[in-house]
Copies of this chain bind each other. A is one copy, B any other.
Amino acid sequence: MLLEGSIIEKHNEQRLRRHNLKLASLQDEFPETEQIIRQIEAFQVAIPSWALGTGGTRFGRFSGGGEPRSLEEKMEDVGLLHQLNRASGAISLHIPWDVPQDPAAIRKLAKEYGLTFDAVNSNTFQDQPHQALSYKFGSLQHVDKAVRKQAIDHNIAVIKHGVELGSKAITVWLSDGSCFPGQLNFRGAFERTLESLQEIYQALPADWKVFIEYKAFEPNFYSMTVGDWGQSLLYASKLGPKAYTLVDLGHHLPNANIEQIVALLLMEGKLAGFHFNDSKYGDDDLTVGSINPYQLFLIFNELVEGMNARNMNHAKDLGWMIDASHNVKDPLEDLMQSVEAILIAYAQALLIDTAALKQAQAANDVVRCQELLQAAYRTDLRPLVAEARFRKGGALEPLELFRSEALRNTLIKKRGEKTVATGL
């Protein structure tokens, strides 16, 4: 472990009195705080293996220092994160960026860090060196059967890696699509993609799921072959009960009502889970909650309501993952901010007076509906999130501790100033 437990303890001791005061004030006001704290404690957000390095754009990439140079170091980063916030106890691997060469050793390491393996991710949007056929014109949609087969085989190989580590799902995000009108026969592309997905679906172990992620645009700029939730749901429905739709918050057209999409996918029993991030223009991959935290809250409102309606387990029945880029922030700090924003939004959603809301909705009392949502949203629930962390041995203020202990410097000393992690 990079950080001795005693340091966390000391950090907490210094803040405990003030923390308890704030906590008590909330406990005083809201009888449900204890229940909320327990639910936050159970909630874990997976960290993608590609999010530990500095991200970039097509215009350039400005690396930071101390980036992880291997899967082992990426796990070390997630382990550190989890030690600090106790809410990042899972890692999501991206193949081929992070092939586990020695699965047993990797599993052992994960156990040491208290990590599990979330959904594995395939990559058919880039050509790898020595790859036989190119994905320039798509992968699962490709007009050439041989390219499709190569992409299918890759996905099956990714599933095998996942099986070795204990993952239970594969996320398929396709950049397949077209850049120009006429380039693609839309129906043909859909049918070929469906056929390819069916072959992958056949290769799923009995207890596995496949998550179909959609995206409105980029890197294809005219059409995407899995372009919106409607298309993803069509694929998932045709594939069968193990196929689900994955929502990435940044993958929509301007002004889309994402929370409504979430509610409908839950209604259909087809929501896979989330790739969390925030954005203003497109797939900006900014820190969760940095642009529109109220929208995040509204999404959690639908999640809580919809999962409860289906008696689902908040912590286990959907996949929660961050998917962000960190062009101008330290990746670990960015992830700490993202996890915090997620937990705050979740806590606020849990605080909503749902009985009163149902009543107000039944009476078309729109003013009161808004009052009820905003009453929860405007309440400062940071103490509950901190308390959940504290109870599990994490730091009351993870970011502050990360900085006061100069942990990035520790990483730089260990790994060097000029490292570049695999990823975008």
Bitwise interface map of A from 10 to 33 toward B, beta carbon under 8 Å scored 1, else 0? 000000000000000100000000
A281 and B378 contacting across the interface, CB-CB below 8 Å: no
B373 and A260 contacting across the interface, CB-CB below 8 Å: no
In the complex, which residues of chain B have a beta carbon less than 8 angstroms from the beta carbon of A180? 286-287, 290, 328-329, 366, 369-370
- Which of A137, A223, A367, A399 is the most central at the interface, judged by chain B CB atoms within 10 Å of its CB? A367
A292 and B292 contacting across the interface, CB-CB below 8 Å: yes
In the complex, which residues of chain B have a beta carbon less than 8 angstroms from the beta carbon of A284? 179, 217, 221
Bitwise interface map of A from 231 to 243 toward B, beta carbon under 8 Å scored 1, else 0? 1011000000000
* Cβ-based interface call for A227 (8 A): yes
With contact pairs A59-B219, A60-B126, A228-B228 given, residues A328 and B264 touching in the complex (Cβ less than 8 Å):
no
With contact pairs A264-B231, A292-B292, A382-B378 given, residues A280 and B182 touching in the complex (Cβ less than 8 Å):
no
With contact pairs A228-B230, A370-B290, A399-B371 given, residues A263 and B187 touching in the complex (Cβ less than 8 Å):
yes
* Cβ-based interface call for A327 (8 A): yes
Bitwise interface map of A from 146 to 168 toward B, beta carbon under 8 Å scored 1, else 0? 00000000000000000000000
Q: How far is the CA of A374 from the CA of B183 in the complex (A)?
A: 12
With contact pairs A136-B328, A228-B228, A287-B180 given, residues A399 and B186 touching in the complex (Cβ less than 8 Å):
no
Selected interface stretch from A39-47, A89-97, A248-256: A248-256
In the complex, which residues of chain B have a beta carbon less than 8 angstroms from the beta carbon of A185? 263, 305, 358, 361
In the complex, which residues of chain B have a beta carbon less than 8 angstroms from the beta carbon of A257? 222-223, 227, 280
With contact pairs A327-B219, A337-B367, A367-B330 given, residues A126 and B231 touching in the complex (Cβ less than 8 Å):
no
* Cβ-based interface call for A34 (8 A): no
A334 and B292 contacting across the interface, CB-CB below 8 Å: no
